[in-house]
């Protein structure tokens, strides 16, 4: 029998199975970051359907760091308190919950603190006081999460958001202690984790979502990412390995920026007409996309970030590694887990289409997800609409 539905120990947590819901922005919060009832219902429904670990969409620990319309805030006790009942219900159903904390970096909304590790094109580099403020905001957000019974927090260091750009050799050109070397580039993550660990104690899990590769020249590779993981051992309990970052996010703004970035982190494709609809010059955009079709319409294949996660696990066998991106078939999932390539399987789009997928896997009522990786669900939230499956 496969180990997919056996318990897994992640730091202080014991999960009932090897499945987790990867954080995905739901665009279901109001302008102040307070969740609408639909968001609570969505998370509780996942817990009712055998998802072992649930991570809601990324939250902003300061209003200055907000990256998307409809994003959830977690910068005050009031923002945390509204989650109490949902957290209790998730626990009652046997699942765990962590909150993913993020600074939007180059994707921060107009009026916020849009920045990177160092100046690049129109993006300013962070000052030391800004870094110190960032660490403090993540610290406070984690304490708010613990105060309402959450099981832990996850640091968002993937996909071109701020911490991801600090880890990227291509984007971090700093010459001070926060750049210049493997140790320098990972320092900001390490300091956040150390600060959180000291104040939240040993019974609170700390995870990170990070790139196994950036997919840009001179960016993070599995080897570099594995070195980061080695330096973060003992500070981080769970390493969720994703991939993809677009240098184009430094040159584009608004909705086009968001969708272009998605093409570097998602298998499948977003139809040309959607990109064109977001462009002021639709005809020009269609011509561009015809010339660079392979760039925009990435071919989907199962587990397209698994190779990096497997490499990291092989070189750091004593840490807990989760693989996200493109896991659809239970047969493949069982093989990955049984061969100990990684410890957990993380799902996003399949659970948007089928919140009950894990339960159906367990009951042998499904062998693969119905998700077609069309990415229309992500197109929806690019316009601030609630996250939903839009496949015909």
The whole-number pLDDT of residue 181 equals 97
Q: Are 64 and 73 in contact (CB under 8 A)?
A: no
Which stretches of the chain are DSSP H helices?
37-47, 77-81, 84-92, 128-147, 162-167, 182-200, 222-232, 254-262, 272-277, 282-291, 293-296, 306-315, 330-338, 349-353, 357-362, 376-382
For the chain, residues with pLDDT lower than 70 are 1, 246-300, 379, 382, 392
Nearest in space to 388 (alpha carbons), one of 42, 90, 30: 42
The whole-number pLDDT of residue 168 equals 95
Write the DSSP symbol of residue 99: E
The whole-number pLDDT of residue 37 equals 98
* Domain ranges within the chain, ordered by starting residue: 3-253+301-371
Nearest in space to 379 (alpha carbons), one of 129, 25, 111: 25
Secondary-structure class of domain 3-253+301-371 per CATH: alpha beta
Q: Are 160 and 261 in contact (CB under 8 A)?
A: yes
- The strand pairing partners of 156, in sequence order, are 209
Two structure tokens written together for 139: 């610290």
The predicted-structure confidence for 360-390, as pLDDT tens digits, reads as follows: 999 999 999 988 877 778 767 767 788 988 7
Two structure tokens written together for 58: 């990324």
The whole-number pLDDT of residue 265 equals 61
Go through 237-255 and write b for each residue having 16 or more CB atoms within 10 A of its CB, e for each that does not: bbbbbbbbbbbbbbebeeb
The whole-number pLDDT of residue 380 equals 72
Q: Show Cβ contacts of residue 117 under 8 Å, excluding neighbours closer than 6 positions.
A: 125, 126, 162, 165, 166, 171, 172, 173, 174, 178, 179, 185
Classify burial at 158, counting beta carbons within 10 Å of its beta carbon; exposed 0-12, middle 13-18, buried 19 or more.
buried
Nearest in space to 208 (alpha carbons), one of 101, 64, 336: 101
The radius of gyration of the chain from alpha carbons, rounded to an integer in Å, stands at 19
The whole-number pLDDT of residue 247 equals 45
Classify burial at 68, counting beta carbons within 10 Å of its beta carbon; exposed 0-12, middle 13-18, buried 19 or more.
buried
Taking the C-alpha atoms of residue 346 and residue 325, their distance in angstroms, rounded to an integer, is 7
Q: Is 70 left (phi over 0), alpha (psi -120 to 50) or beta?
A: left
């Amino acid at each position: 029998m496969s180990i997919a539905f056996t318990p897994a120990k992640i730091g202080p947590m014991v999960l009932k199975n090897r499945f987790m819901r990867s954080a995905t922005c739901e665009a279901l919060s109001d302008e102040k970051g307070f969740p609408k009832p639909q968001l609570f219902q969505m998370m509780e429904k996942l817990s009712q359907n055998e998802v072992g670990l649930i991570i809601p969409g990324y939250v902003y620990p300061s209003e200055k760091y907000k990256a998307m319309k409809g994003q959830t805030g977690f910068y005050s006790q009031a923002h945390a308190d509204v989650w109490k009942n949902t957290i209790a219900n998730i626990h009652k159903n046997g699942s765990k919950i962590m909150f993913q904390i993020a600074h939007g970096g180059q994707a921060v909304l107009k009026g916020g603190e849009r920045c990177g590790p160092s100046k690049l094109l129109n993006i300013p580099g962070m000052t030391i006081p800004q870094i110190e403020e960032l660490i403090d905001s993540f610290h406070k957000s984690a304490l708010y999460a613990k105060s309402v019974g959450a099981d832990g927090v996850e640091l968002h260091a993937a996909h071109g958001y701020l911490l991801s750009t600090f880890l990227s050799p291509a984007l971090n050109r700093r010459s001070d202690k926060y750049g210049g070397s493997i140790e320098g580039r990972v320092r900001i993550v390490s300091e956040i984790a150390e600060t959180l660990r000291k104040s939240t104690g040993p019974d609170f899990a700390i995870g990170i979502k990070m790139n196994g590769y950036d997919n840009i020249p001179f960016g993070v590779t599995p080897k570099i990412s594995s070195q980061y993981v080695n330096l973060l051992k003992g500070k981080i309990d769970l390493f969720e390995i994703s991939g993809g970052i677009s240098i184009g996010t430094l040159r584009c703004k608004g909705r086009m920026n968001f969708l272009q970035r998605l093409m570097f982190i998602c298998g499948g494709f977003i139809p040309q007409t959607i990109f064109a609809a977001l462009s002021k010059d639709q005809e020009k955009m269609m011509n561009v996309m015809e010339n660079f079709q392979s760039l925009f319409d990435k071919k989907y294949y199962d587990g397209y970030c698994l190779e990096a996660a497997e490499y990291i696990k092989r070189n750091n066998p004593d840490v807990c590694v989760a693989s996200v991106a493109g896991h659809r078939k239970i047969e493949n999932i069982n093989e990955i887990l049984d061969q100990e390539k990684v410890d957990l399987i993380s799902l996003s789009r399949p659970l948007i289409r089928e919140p009950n997928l894990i339960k159906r896997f367990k009951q042998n009522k499904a062998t693969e997800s119905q998700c077609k990786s069309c990415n229309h669900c992500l197109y929806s939230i690019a316009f601030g609409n609630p996250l939903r499956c839009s496949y015909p």
